[in-house]
A = this chain, B = another copy of it.
Amino acid sequence: MARPTIIDVAKAAGVSRATAARVLAGATNVDPVMTSAVEREARNLGYETNFAARMLRGGRAGAIGLVLAFNEIGSLNGTFFASALKGAAKGLAAGDVQPVLLPADDEDLGRIPKFLRSGAVDGVIVILQHEITHLVDSLADSPVPVAWIGRPHGDVGPDPIVIDADNHTGGILAARALVEAGRRRIGIITGPPDMEQANERTRGWTEELTRSGIAPGPMVHGDFTVDSGMAAMARLLQRDPDLDGVFASSDLMASGALRVLQAAGRRVPLDVSLVGFDDVLPATTSDPPLTTVRQPLEDMGRTAAEILIATIAGREVERVQILPTTLVRRESL
């Protein structure tokens, strides 16, 4: 069935469309029997007020534009999220589609699904930096197509649109670079255990070390932040003071680790080699700048936009795209 209208709700509840509208608007002077009938049917049908109709009637959009120069979007590269956002914004602009920001509120999980049912957007791109299980669940039965940047955990329905980086190869690249630099006692600062992308990096790293005949060193979990990188590095040094190589699953954690290493008197890269992941701004501003595994975040965002636009237009496209990761050599290795 097509998106239900208020007429569908009214019919199902056996009342006039005016009454249904009143109930849905929260009016109190309506027969309680009718009220509950309307509320029940609205829920059953998954009714949500049509955004365009309300706007045409009321004259108010309920939206505010954020104007920014394109080169300001260009400056968005400080973080994973900012870079992906930048790519997506560019891709959407190229398709003459407006990007609408939908912050997912932890306290009100229903907001986004509701918004999607209102018809205000033709599709959504989800930038999955951290695993947000409830968000994934609440988008599983979206009435509009969803493109996932990063592979979602859990059930997202059949044939999802997924854009991800090749995390597994990224882990291999990091391990190989450390081994080729002559490192033999190599630890890892990985991401949260429930985050599949981090796990794949770790798997690649483990495989490549094993393949090279080197036993993987100590592993500590972080949460991708600078602070967690500092804490993780301190624990890594406790576990093996003679560590000569570290792979951190994000540049932020790597830059935290770098600071702890230097404070502990280790010279990087002389005593310890360090490889990060992401290739975001802090990788270039730290001292020494970080050798890191580059995720093509901007490309991922742009690709998500393109696939989604094509899907909405009814064109056939490859719905899963894993973009390559590459090693960017700077001075921490």
Residues of A in contact with B (beta carbons under 8 Å apart):
50-53, 55-56, 59-73, 75-82, 85, 88-90, 92-93, 96-106, 112, 115-116, 119-127, 129-130, 132, 135, 139, 226, 252, 255, 258-259, 262, 280-282, 284-287, 305, 308-309
CB neighbours (8 Å) of A89 from chain B are 66, 101, 103
Are B101 and A135 in touch, CB under 8 angstroms? no
Cα of A259 to Cα of B287 in the assembled complex, Å:
8
A67 to B285, CA, bound (A): 29
B65, B79, B96, B122: the one within 8 Å of A124 (CB) = B65
**Interface hub of A65, A67, A80, A259 (most chain B Cβ within 10 A):** A67
Contacts of A96 in B (CB 8 A): 62
Query: Nearest chain B CB to A111's CB is how many angstroms away?
Result: 9
Copies of this chain, how many?
2
Contact B81 A76 (CB under 8 A): yes
Shortest CB-to-CB span from A103 to chain B, Å, is 5
Contact residue among B53, B65, B120, B255 (Cβ-Cβ distance under 8 Å from A123): B65
Whether B65 contacts A121 by the Cβ 8 Å rule is yes
Residues of B within 8 A of A90 (CB): 103
- In the bound complex, what is the Cα–Cα distance between A59 and B122 (angstroms)? 9
CA distance in complex: A93, B106 (Å): 12
Contact (Cβ within 8 A) A127 B66: yes
Q: Which residues of B contact A67 (CB under 8 A)?
A: 102, 104, 112, 124-127, 135, 139
Can you pick out 23 interface pairs between chain A and chain B where the beta carbons lie within 8 Å of each other?
Answer: A53-B56, A62-B97, A63-B99, A63-B100, A63-B120, A64-B92, A64-B98, A65-B116, A65-B120, A65-B123, A68-B102, A68-B104, A69-B103, A69-B130, A69-B132, A75-B81, A75-B129, A98-B101, A98-B115, A226-B285, A255-B285, A258-B287, A286-B286
Question: Quick one: closest B residue to A129, CB to CB?
Answer: B72
Bound CA span A115–B125, Å: 22
CB neighbours (8 Å) of A282 from chain B are: 78, 281-282, 285
Contact B105 A93 (CB under 8 A): yes
Contacts of A88 in B (CB 8 A): 66
Neighbour of A115 across the interface among B65, B85, B106, B258, CB < 8 A: B65
